[in-house]
Amino acid sequence: MNTKSTASIKIVNLDLRSLELHPVWTWCDGSLFEDEDFVRPVTELNIGTSSLDVLFVLCDFETVEGMRFKGSIAYECANNDVYAITFWHQDKCYCFNRQAGGLVRPVVARLTHEFPDILTVLPVRYHVVPVWTGIQGGVFDVDPNT
C-alpha cells in the first residue's frame, strides 16, 4: 500500500513553516524501519487510533538563560521518550539526536558560533504546542562532548 499522500514531505524538508501548518508529523507508514524518507501530518482525530511509532511535534524551547526558540521534538511513542530536538535560530536549523552517536559535537561546533557558551543553550526546556497530543513538556540535554 502506498502511504505517501499529497501532504507527505521528505523528512529533510520538515521545517518550521510545515510544523506551524501541521504541528504533528509521523513516518508515512508509522514504522521506524520502512519508508523513513517521508513524513505525513497527524491530526487530532487520528493520533489515538493509529499505531504510531514516532511523532515530530511542534514545541517552544526555552534555555536556562531565558532565550526562546521554535522547533520540534522527536518523540518515540512506545518508550515515551524524546530522543531528538530540532530548533531554528536566525534561519539556521540545529538538531540534537541522542540516537545518532557522534553527531552532537559537529552541531555544538556550529552552534558555538551563535552562542560561545554552549551551556547557555543546553539543557533546554521544551513545551509541546499541540496539547492534544498528551505529550508532557520536559527538559532535553545532551553531552556536548559526544
Rounded-to-integer distance, Cα 68 and Cα 63, Å: 7
Kindly state the cell numbers that stand for 102: 557522534
**26-48, pLDDT tens digit by residue?**
988 644 555 568 999 998 766 66
- Residue-by-residue pLDDT tens, the chain, 146 positions: 334 444 889 988 999 999 999 999 998 864 455 556 899 999 876 666 557 889 999 999 998 888 898 999 999 988 889 999 998 887 888 888 888 765 566 666 666 666 656 556 678 899 999 988 889 999 988 766 66
What's this model's pTM, rounded to 2 decimal places?
0.81
Kindly state the cell numbers that stand for 18: 510545515
CA distances from 44 to 59, 74, 92 (A): 16, 17, 29
How far out from the chain centre does Cα 117 lie?
A: 23
Rounded-to-integer distance, Cα 72 and Cα 28, Å: 18
Reference 34, options 64, 67, 2; nearest CA is: 2
SS3 category, 37: coil
DSSP 81: E
For the chain, give every domain's residue range: 9-140
Rounded-to-integer distance, Cα 91 and Cα 68, Å: 14
Q: What is the pLDDT of residue 94?
A: 82
